[in-house]
Amino acid sequence: MIVIAVYWLFLFILLLPLGVLTQHALKLKTNSPILTLLSGIVLLTCGFTFTAFFMPLGAFSLAIWCIISLASGIYFKSEVFRLIKSFGESLKQLPSYLKIVIGILTFAALLKSAQYPFIIDNESYYVQTIKWLNEFGFVKGLGNLHMFFAQNSGWHVLQAGLNFSFVSYIINDINGFVFLICTFYCIIEGQRLSTDRRLHWLMFMPLPAILFFQFLDVPSPDLPLLIITSIILHLYAQHSENEDNYKIALLFFILLVFIKLTVLPLGILFLPGLLKRQNLVFITVTAIPIAILWISKNIIVNGYPLYPIAYFKTGYDWAMPDNLFHFIIDNTADYGYNRTTGNALLPPDTSMTDKLLMWLQQNGLARIVNRLTIAVLALMPVAIAKNKKYMLIYIALLINFLVVLFTSPQFRYFLYITICAGLFVVAWLFNILKTNALVYKGLLALSILLISITFFNLKFSGLTANKHHQSNSVVRWQQLYKPEGVTKLPKLEFIQIKMDNLEYYSPKYNFFRYGTANGPLPCVNSEQIEYLYRELGIIPQLRSTELKDGFKSVKK
């Protein structure tokens, strides 16, 4: 915890001046230190992405951005100090019970971040993606080695640039920092906009904290979507009071698209505002350079400029073959409809009606979230009936949900929609029933109590069939001063296997077909290679004699 607390303090000091620099460069005005920190994250994500084309993300690249941050802090020192003072004053003005909530959430987030990672995706590609970035930067055709490496999310680029890999592989805790600052913003802003009789919907953001906590101990790209989307919607709703709020919301939306493409349909929210020339100019100078970075990254890593969209495949020898690309996409989509049978592809003649019925009838947590999403989206129009400025927000959320539903409806791909719509519905119910403040405090206490579940090794077999998600890690005394490593399998052994011109490392114990944990590079599970060979007739090979030159798929 102590190490992570120092790390988060470092992030605050690093990001605040970079945020001020970003806002001056884009001519944005805000008095919020949290929005400034998030602006710094946008700049640093893009900066590290650019850097990764030319060099590994290590000590040198981090030093460059530390120098830029220091120079910005000196140049804008009065503004930086004003924002720090504003942040402190905002916290002081909160009621005592909210200060207690913030204190408990801070302690809990630190402790959760110090535990072993929970989500199994961390063991299949998060750790390895970040490791490749730390040692080589972007590698041509990396998706041919392990099909999940084709994603290379901008969030992993950011974590790779900030994880101090040149010192130790124990830091992967940016999610906890982002959760905290965004929760602070929602509480502070929600308190400002609440009245004696009505609580603003942002005030209910701490209630689903147990969901956020599942993503704190891993660098999951899902967390920024879960927590930042609500801030985007709030800024959009408030832009009539401050024109810059529209641009800031748009900037953060572009960041989320850069991190994970599933949020793209939410962009219809911003279309009416683009009729104004200044907004059109703003999206041109921000979205186009970021889109170029995203397209270029995809071309290098997987050969598909719009990955995971199939159009415009390049002709480079490192481009993933069509059958491998469609195998990934089809498996991901079918898994969203039919989780009860694992990753097995559905029969080609399965109708969309049958797929949707299977989706509704899934087991465990997936069934709960799927049906809850339908419920809150059905109730949200009633909840916002007297506030027309939220109607476009509802339409955007609904369209985003439908797009995901008909493409790849894994519940974590639309959980941010569930949370956002749910906040509106809960706030509406709370206010229409004229519930008193004591009930709200009780709800906060209950949400904090639920968070405690994530710290104990409880069994969740009733909520998920995935054996890797059926229990949590446990609290250890050493976590109070030092976090656990970046993998939940630190003792896993690896064996070296030679396959034509490729020598790779595979887990000695096959805990998961796509599992690689923190194995030495290049690492891929031999079971995955054998499986793809049986299904597709291809194997990964080096493009040359050097790892840095990347990989290609070869028919065998």
Specify the DSSP element, H or E, that contains 498.
Answer: strand 494-499
Task: Kindly state whether residue 445 falls inside one of the protein's structural domains.
Answer: no
Asked if 115 and 192 sit in the same domain, the reply is yes
> Across 310-324, 431-445, 467-481, which has the greatest mean pLDDT?
310-324
Q: Which helix (H) or strand (E) holds 507?
A: strand 502-507
Is 320 within a domain? no
Residue 501 sits in the same domain as residue 429: no
pLDDT at 461 over 60: no
For residue 308, is the peptide bond before it cis, meaning its omega torsion is within 30 degrees of 0? Answer: yes
134 & 31 share domain: yes
Asked if residue 224 and residue 86 are part of one domain, the reply reads: yes
Is residue 154 domain-shared with residue 247, that is, in the same domain?
Answer: yes
The verdict on 100 and 220 lying in the same domain is yes
For residues 36 and 166, state if they share a domain: yes
- Mean residue pLDDT of the chain comes to 91
Which letter, b or e, does each residue of 48-71 get, where b requires 16 or more Cβ atoms within 10 Å of its Cβ? bbbbbeeebbbeebbeebeebbee
Helix (H) / strand (E) containing 554: strand 551-555
- In a domain? residue 456: no
Does residue 198 sit within a domain? yes
Q: What percent of the chain has pLDDT over 90?
A: 75
The reply to whether 50 and 191 lie within a common domain is yes
Distance CA 287, CA 279 (A): 11
Residues 223, 162 share a domain:
yes
User: DSSP letters of 188-205?
Assistant: HHHHHH--SS---GGGGT
Give 197's pLDDT tier (boundaries 50, 70, 90): confident
Cα atoms in the 13 Å half-sphere on the side-chain side of 94: 22
Domain shared by 269 and 179, yes or no:
yes
CA–CA separation, 468 and 481 (whole Å): 27
Which residues, other chains included, contact 473 with Cβ-Cβ below 8 Å and sequence gap of 6+?
115, 116, 118, 217, 457, 484, 488
In a domain, 245, yes or no: yes
Question: Picking from 352-356, 432-436, 526-530, which range would have the lowest pLDDT averaged per residue?
Answer: 432-436
Instruction: Out of 434, 462, 480, pick the residue that ends a domain.
Output: 434
364 inside domain? yes
Could you tell me if residue 332 is inside a domain? yes
pTM: 0.93
The parent domain of residue 393 ranges over 325-434
Choosing from 305, 336, 352, the residue where a domain stops is 305
Looking at residue 344, its pLDDT comes to 58
Name the domain count of the chain.
3
Domain assignment of residue 30, yes or no: yes
From 491, 481, 368, 496, select the one nearest 1 (Cα to Cα). 481
pLDDT band at 418 (very low <50, low <70, confident <90, very high): very high
| pLDDT in the model for residue 478 | 81
Same domain, 359 and 237: no
Whether residue 199 is found in the same domain as residue 59: yes
pLDDT tens digit string along 308-350? 898 899 999 999 999 999 998 888 888 888 765 444 567 777 8
Please choose, from the candidates 61, 226, 71, the residue with its C-alpha nearest in 3D space to the C-alpha of residue 138.
61
pLDDT given at position 434: 77
